[in-house]
């Protein structure tokens, strides 16, 4: 009991409950009037928790392989549309080499993307087409390149006047890809920032600055939420702590991993994630 990670387990349980509640509410269930029906949120909750778990444990395992001390994942429950603000692990020792930084930074987004991709395929197969009711206002989700392509493969062309009603598993897959793109922004100490620093070193700060400019432009042009992200990134800082042995070169296969990561960012990025 002494070494039992009580805080991590507690946050995981609470976040499981908040995502379960969010999944039920998405289906129009009033969990205060019918609390037993909260279990109907399981398809969404289990999928989004699996995506987050795989993402963070990929970081954790990569850290362990490179002898970097890291905490278990901290899950963040939230009274939001999806029931969580995500999860994170905390590094407790310096990262020694560029190779370690690349592996730790890229592992989470790549694994999270793969799980989100599978969830999207399965969920879209369970989704259905519904007619668009003129005169009613409702929220639509924006499409990334990869999600739109998967929808075309699984469902086909959507007839005019119809839209796809996403199954909860597909919605969790969409959220997983959106989270992946956010993490891969080449700014500060986001996963994309780790990858960028491993590739270009001190030029990382300049790229972070251009990343902030990019978010501001996207916020003015498409979705105001990008402006909030820009402010958050500025508050968290654009600097990245140095690796101890910078002179150790980055192997070609690690450079390829960095390239693949930014291809994933390009495929999953959504200029206007939410619109009415």
In a domain, 66, yes or no: yes
pLDDT-wise least confident of 126-130, 138-142, 212-216: 138-142
Determine the pLDDT at residue 247: 73
Average pLDDT rounded to a whole number, residues 189-196: 96
Question: Which residue range is the domain that position 180 belongs to?
Answer: 6-275
Average pLDDT, whole number, for the chain?
93
- Taking only the tens place, the pLDDT of each residue in 139-179 is 789 999 999 999 999 999 988 888 899 999 999 999 999 99
Determine the pLDDT at residue 46: 97
Whole-model pTM? 0.93
Which tokens is 227 given?
């402006």
Q: Cβ contacts of residue 231 below 8 Å, gap of 6+?
A: none
Q: What is the dihedral of CA 244, 54, 19, 24, to 10 degrees?
A: 160
In a domain, 188, yes or no: yes
Select from 61, 69, 30, 25 the least CA-distant residue to 44.
Answer: 25
In a domain, 215, yes or no: yes
CA distance 178 to 163: 20
Average pLDDT rounded to a whole number, residues 254-269: 97
Residue 107, pLDDT above cutoff 70:
yes
Determine the pLDDT at residue 245: 86
- Taking only the tens place, the pLDDT of each residue in 215-245 is 999 999 999 999 999 999 999 889 898 888 8
Which is higher by pLDDT, 240 or 249? 240
Give the total number of structural domains in the chain.
Answer: 1
In a domain, 208, yes or no: yes
- The percent of residues in the chain predicted with pLDDT above 70, rounded, is 99
Radius of gyration of the chain (CA): 20
CA distance 228 to 237: 14
In a domain, 219, yes or no: yes
Which is higher by pLDDT, 246 or 5? 5
Determine the pLDDT at residue 78: 93
Determine the pLDDT at residue 2: 55
In a domain, 1, yes or no: no
Residue 246, pLDDT above cutoff 70:
yes
- Taking only the tens place, the pLDDT of each residue in 6-64 is 999 999 999 999 999 999 999 999 988 998 999 999 999 999 999 999 999 999 999 99
Where does the pLDDT of residue 4 fall: very low under 50, low under 70, confident under 90, or very high at 90 and above? confident
Average pLDDT rounded to a whole number, residues 181-197: 96
Average pLDDT rounded to a whole number, residues 101-109: 97
Residue 258, pLDDT above cutoff 80:
yes
In a domain, 146, yes or no: yes
The angle formed by the CA atoms of residues 59, 42 and 51, to the nearest 5 degrees, is: 15
Determine the pLDDT at residue 112: 97
CA distance 3 to 38: 32
In a domain, 228, yes or no: yes
């Amino acid at each position: 009991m002494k070494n039992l990670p009580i805080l991590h387990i507690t946050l995981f349980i609470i976040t499981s409950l908040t995502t379960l509640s969010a999944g039920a509410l998405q289906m129009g269930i009033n969990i205060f009037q019918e609390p037993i029906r909260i279990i109907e949120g399981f398809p969404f909750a289990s999928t989004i928790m699996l995506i987050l778990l795989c993402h963070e444990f990929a970081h954790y395992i990569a850290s362990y392989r490179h002898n970097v001390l890291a905490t278990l994942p901290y899950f963040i429950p939230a009274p939001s549309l999806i029931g969580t603000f995500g999860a994170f692990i905390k590094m407790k020792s310096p990262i020694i080499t560029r190779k370690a930084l690349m592996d730790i930074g890229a592992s989470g987004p790549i694994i999270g993307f793969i799980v989100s991709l599978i969830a999207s395929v399965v969920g879209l197969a369970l989704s259905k087409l519904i007619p668009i009711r003129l005169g009613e206002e409702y929220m639509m989700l924006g499409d990334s390149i990869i999600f739109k392509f998967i929808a075309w493969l699984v469902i086909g062309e959507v007839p005019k006047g119809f839209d796809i009603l996403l199954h909860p598993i597909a919605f969790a897959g969409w959220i997983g890809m959106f989270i992946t793109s956010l993490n891969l922004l080449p700014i500060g100490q986001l996963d994309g920032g780790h990858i960028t620093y491993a590739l270009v070193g001190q030029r990382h700060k300049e790229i972070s600055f251009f990343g902030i400019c990019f978010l501001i432009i996207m916020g003015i042009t498409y979705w105001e939420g990008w402006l909030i992200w820009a402010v958050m990134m500025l508050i968290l800082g654009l600097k990245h702590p140095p690796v101890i042995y910078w002179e150790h070169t980055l192997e070609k296969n690690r450079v390829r991993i960095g390239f693949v990561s930014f291809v994933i960012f390009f495929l999953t990025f959504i200029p206007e994630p939410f619109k009415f």
